[in-house]
């Protein structure tokens, strides 16, 4: 897949306890030209949440978090977003196993996450997600292909 030029150099956080999956996702996202921050333990996720407690600008393009890590950090996340709602501008994707679909859907309904990705996350799913994060950029190419030739003005 081709690189998406508008995301070159942007940063994505991956919160994944499985080292193999984390490295696979890192390689896939790096192929799009993204910088990756990996967090693999509940402590690392909690420390990162606390570091961003009073931040006023968006650090990550998106955060992809494993369901189990999300559940362990949920209380801290709720406290931080209550104090600083601007953190919610960063879209959060929940990576879930099929057995956790009901709980994952509940988190989506409570607006704790913006989208869900089933584990293991495929390269196509990541590509669709990146296009979704910037809808205008995602629509530019299909619109360009359907555009008709410019009208000719003559006297």
Range with the poorest average pLDDT among 8-17, 114-123, 130-139, 144-153: 144-153
pLDDT of residue 152: 54
Per DSSP, 31 falls in state T
Query: Does residue 95 contact residue 66 with C-beta atoms inside 8 Å?
Result: yes
> Could you tell me the pLDDT band of residue 14, with boundaries at 50, 70 and 90?
very high
Mean pLDDT of 121-140: 77
Mean pLDDT of 17-30: 93
Query: Does residue 93 contact residue 64 with C-beta atoms inside 8 Å?
Result: yes
Buried b (16+ CB within 10 A) or exposed e, 98-131: eebeeebeebeeeebbbbbbeeebeeebbbebbe
> Could you tell me the pLDDT band of residue 107, with boundaries at 50, 70 and 90?
very high
Q: Model-level pTM?
A: 0.80
In sequence order, the 6+-apart residues with CB closer than 8 A to the CB of 127 are 1, 32
Backbone Cα Rg of the chain: 18
Per CATH, the architecture of 5-138 is what? Answer: 3-Layer(aba) Sandwich (3.40)
Tokens of 122: 């495929």
pLDDT at 69 over 70: yes
pLDDT of residue 112: 87
pLDDT mean across residues, the chain? 84
């Amino acid at each position: 897949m081709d690189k998406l030029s508008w995301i070159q150099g942007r940063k994505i956080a991956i919160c994944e306890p499985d080292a193999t999956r984390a490295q696979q996702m890192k390689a896939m996202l790096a192929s799009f030209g993204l910088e990756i921050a990996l967090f693999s333990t509940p402590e690392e996720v909690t420390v990162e949440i606390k570091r961003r407690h009073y931040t006023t600008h968006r650090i990550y393009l998106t955060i992809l978090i494993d369901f189990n890590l999300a559940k362990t950090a949920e209380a801290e996340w709720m406290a931080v977003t209550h104090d600083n709602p601007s953190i919610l501008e960063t879209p959060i994707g929940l990576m879930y196993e099929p057995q956790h679909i009901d709980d994952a859907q509940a988190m989506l309904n409570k607006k704790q996450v913006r989208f869900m990705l089933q584990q293991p996350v495929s390269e196509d799913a990541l590509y669709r997600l990146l296009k979704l994060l910037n809808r205008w950029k995602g629509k530019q190419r299909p619109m360009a292909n359907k555009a008709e030739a410019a009208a000719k003005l003559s006297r």
